[in-house]
Amino acid sequence: MRRNFRFAIVSDPHVALPHTIWDHPKRFHLVEVSIPALDRIFAHLATLELDFLLVPGDLVQHGERDNHTWLGQRLAQLPYPSFVIPGNHDVPYPEATDTAIGFDEFPRFYRASGYRDTDRHYYTAEPVPGLHLIALNSNIFDAEGVQQGALDDDQLAWLEAELAARRGDRVFVTIHHNVIEHVPQQSRTKMGRRYMLDNAPVLRKLLEDSGVPVVFTGHLHVQDIAATDRLYDITTGSLVSYPHPYRILEYDTDCHGGAWLKIESYRIDSAHIWDDLGHFSREWMGDRSRPFMLRLLTEAPLNMSLEQAEPLLPDLRYFWADIADGDSQFDFGHFPPKARRFFEAFSARTFDRAPSFIDNFATLRLCEPTSLPPARRPRRIEVSQS
């Protein structure tokens, strides 16, 4: 096995300088961790031979000019290249406000992180020789100025042309919104849908037909690897919510022409004023999970009454923290049958529903680009848990 390149992923850092922090008791994200946690990660990465860093969006707390300025400059100082894309929190408004940047301004803050010579919100780069990174923008605004998570027609046409020009090359794609479902019925429930790209099926088909093996996403704040039979969606949890993870990945090739992606996950266990960040943060999430769990119980598909839902809540206090951790197996044997089936379906499973532990540590076989037409390519998903 020959190592071709090594890269890291830090997602949803939601950077917040102290004077920008939104002070509210219901705030879900521990944004005060963002800068000390980034410092810890950069110290770790400095000890590796790293080829590049990927940050798939939600770079700052909520569009703040000061935070974008800080992060753009910090990334520019790193000894390896970095590549960012905008998340919904990076460009929340079409026009600038007193504190937040306008949508058009985003590329200017990240000239050293992918937007060197473009004012468009999407680009291609060659982080290492022979690897084409296609970085996409999933933020658009409707006629009323309301933000949506989708690719617009112009970008889709551009992407189609890029993929056609790169056919047979090694291509990775990154985008903030999820492209493959990471939790059950993500595209069909109100709560899940907002984390999916609206036109995910279109993008999925385009990537699969073009032989792109993997897309890196964020947004969901969960450690998870999902796949169709030809495409992986590797989503990385948020740096500012439990379990404060980041990933280091190695791309290897073997002498038979096979390509492998080895994934390792790490977590920040102390930062800011917390020596035991993991414990504090899990409790913080548990303390704030009640309204969220109540919605899961009372909205479709469970549609429980408040009286039915209430007794189940204590057992769901850490449910979302466990999901965010990745690789969780759930047993709700004492729940009513329908609720039991619903919540146990969130257990980590392989594509044929067997228990699986690939969300944090895994070695994935990537289908190398091939001259075979898509329909004749061998189905492939090979995973080894490591």
Q: Which residue in the block uniquely carries the two structure tokens 């990154």?
A: 174
**Alpha carbons 18 and 31: distance in angstroms, whole number:** 9
* Distances from the Cα of 235 to the Cα of 55, 73, 222, 315, angstroms: 11, 25, 7, 26
* Neighbour-count burial for 145-154, b at 16+ CB within 10 Å, e otherwise: eebbbbbbee
For Fe ion, the closer CB: 239 or 316? 239
Q: Which residues bind Fe ion (CB under 5 A)?
A: 12, 58, 87-88, 219
| Shortest Å distance, C-beta 85 to Fe ion | 11
For Fe ion, the closer CB: 59 or 367? 59
Residue with smallest beta-carbon separation from Fe ion: 58
For Fe ion, the closer CB: 11 or 363? 11
For Fe ion, the closer CB: 62 or 204? 62
| Shortest Å distance, C-beta 89 to Fe ion | 6
Backbone angles phi, psi at 49, to 5 degrees: -90, 90
DSSP 132: E
For Fe ion, the closer CB: 58 or 64? 58
For Fe ion, the closer CB: 10 or 131? 10
For Fe ion, the closer CB: 170 or 177? 177
| Shortest Å distance, C-beta 90 to Fe ion | 9
For Fe ion, the closer CB: 81 or 218? 218
| Shortest Å distance, C-beta 298 to Fe ion | 25
**Alpha carbons 179 and 196: distance in angstroms, whole number:** 6
Q: The tokens of 48 are what? A: 């590796």
Contact 335, 312 (CB under 8 A): yes
| Shortest Å distance, C-beta 29 to Fe ion | 7
For Fe ion, the closer CB: 87 or 211? 87
**Alpha carbons 303 and 289: distance in angstroms, whole number:** 18
| Shortest Å distance, C-beta 196 to Fe ion | 12
Q: The tokens of 109 are what? A: 């803050």
| Shortest Å distance, C-beta 219 to Fe ion | 4
Taking alpha carbons only, the member of 247, 203, 212 closest to residue 231 is: 212
- Helix axis angle for 200-209 and 153-165, nearest 10°, is 10
SS3 368: coil
**Alpha carbons 44 and 106: distance in angstroms, whole number:** 28
Other Cβ atoms less than 10 A from the Cβ of 368: the count is 14
Q: Which residue in the block uniquely carries the two structure tokens 């999901």?
A: 323
| Shortest Å distance, C-beta 129 to Fe ion | 32
DSSP 305: -
What is the 3-class SS of 60-89, one letter each residue? ECCCEHHHHHHHHHHHHCCCCCEEECCCCC
Q: The tokens of 199 are what? A: 């036109």
| Shortest Å distance, C-beta 218 to Fe ion | 6
